[in-house]
Amino acid sequence: MKITNFLLRLKLQKGIGYVKMLQVASQLQLADIDIQTIKNLNLTSNLIKVCLNAYNDRYADKMIRRIEKQCRVISFFDVEYPEKLRQIYQPPLILFLQGNLELLQQKIVTIVGSRQATNYSNLVLNKLVPNLIKDDFIIASGLAKGVDVMAHKAALKFNGQTIAVVGNGLNHFYPQINQHVQKEIAQKGLLVSEYLPDTPPRPYRFPQRNRILAGIADSVIVTEAKQKSGSLITANLALQENRDIYALPGPITSELSQGPNKLIQAGAYPITGFDLQLERFDN
């Protein structure tokens, strides 16, 4: 059995989360898995039992066939898995994708900001994104309200490529208002999730999603964001992975400028024009 198939079977088992899957995956060295491979793993007897159940689960075959009709599935061990993401702390072990997987291997700029963003973000992105596209950058974001969807729409508007990393399964649309954008990205760009396709959106899944947005990026742009926000979580995760951070300065009277202004104070590059001196993106 191929390692990706085995990990997907394991993910389908009840009562096994990321930590336990990581314990298993960290010991897998062969491209093909068999029963003896599983029995030889240095794991608790209960976890060995779960692995054997996953390997022998006939119902999983039906589930996997259904999933593979809906999306592509890749694991940490596949060549299609982006190297930048492989190097982060707690990389996702399985990814579910719809669209052009090749985008993950290209230069990526992640753009994040507040769900309550003003037209200031929209105006800036509609001038900034075309320059990024011209220089062959892929625009990534999280398909949330506000800055996320502004970034995706700007990329599509100017015939660029865009990646949406969502905090739910690919069979869900969240928020519902972005359904048409999600469908367009699946056709023209790439949708990415680490969750099984029928997994509903939950608040705690979005911070987990942020590490993927930071991990696939060469650099991160923050437009408007409060001082305590998911956008700053993404930026801080990106800093930990040695990515460049760009922030849009704003008036000190605006709560939505506190986040980017704080990033600039801490050393992020301020966005003072629509040409970001893109040589800084080169690693």
146-172 pLDDT per residue, tens? 999 999 999 999 999 999 999 999 999
**Same domain (yes/no): 66, 105:** no
208 within some domain:
yes
Statement: the pTM of the whole predicted model exceeds 0.75: yes
Q: What is the pLDDT of residue 91?
A: 96
**Same domain (yes/no): 252, 117:** yes
Provide the pLDDT confidence category of residue 29 given band limits of 50, 70 and 90.
Answer: confident
168 within some domain:
yes
**Same domain (yes/no): 16, 129:** no
**Same domain (yes/no): 49, 130:** no
Q: Quick: pLDDT tens for 95-141.
A: 999 999 999 999 999 999 999 999 999 999 999 999 999 999 999 99
SS3 170: coil
33 within some domain:
yes
**Same domain (yes/no): 62, 117:** no
Eight-class DSSP state of 5: H
**Same domain (yes/no): 47, 114:** no
Tell me, rounded to whole angstroms, the distance of Cα 261 from its chain centroid. Answer: 25
SS3 164: strand
CATH assignment at residue 144: 3.40.50.450
Instruction: Give the domain extent around 37.
Output: 3-70
267 within some domain:
yes
Between vectors from CA 208 to CA 27 and to CA 160, what angle results, nearest 5°?
105
25 within some domain:
yes
Share of the chain above pLDDT 70, in %: 98
Provide the pLDDT confidence category of residue 283 given band limits of 50, 70 and 90.
Answer: very low
87 within some domain:
no
C-alpha span between 271 and 146 (Å, rounded): 19
**Same domain (yes/no): 122, 257:** yes
Q: Domain end: 26, 51, 70, which one?
A: 70
How many domains are there within the chain?
Answer: 2
Average pLDDT, the chain: 94
Q: Quick: pLDDT tens for 183-214.
A: 999 999 999 999 999 999 998 899 899 999 99
Q: What is the pLDDT of residue 277?
A: 63
Q: What is the pLDDT of residue 263?
A: 95
Q: Domain end: 48, 70, 92, which one?
A: 70
For the CA atoms of the chain, what is the radius of gyration?
20
**Same domain (yes/no): 180, 252:** yes
**Same domain (yes/no): 134, 261:** yes
26 within some domain:
yes
Peptide bond into 175 cis (omega under 30): yes
**Same domain (yes/no): 17, 133:** no
156 within some domain:
yes
Single out the residue of 6, 19, 107 nearest to residue 64, CA to CA.
Answer: 6
Q: Quick: pLDDT tens for 209-239.
A: 999 999 999 999 999 999 988 899 999 999 9
**Same domain (yes/no): 179, 254:** yes
Contact 105, 117 (CB under 8 A): no
Q: Domain end: 52, 70, 88, which one?
A: 70
Compute the average pLDDT of residues 77-92: 95
Residues comprising the chain, all counted: 283
**Same domain (yes/no): 155, 227:** yes
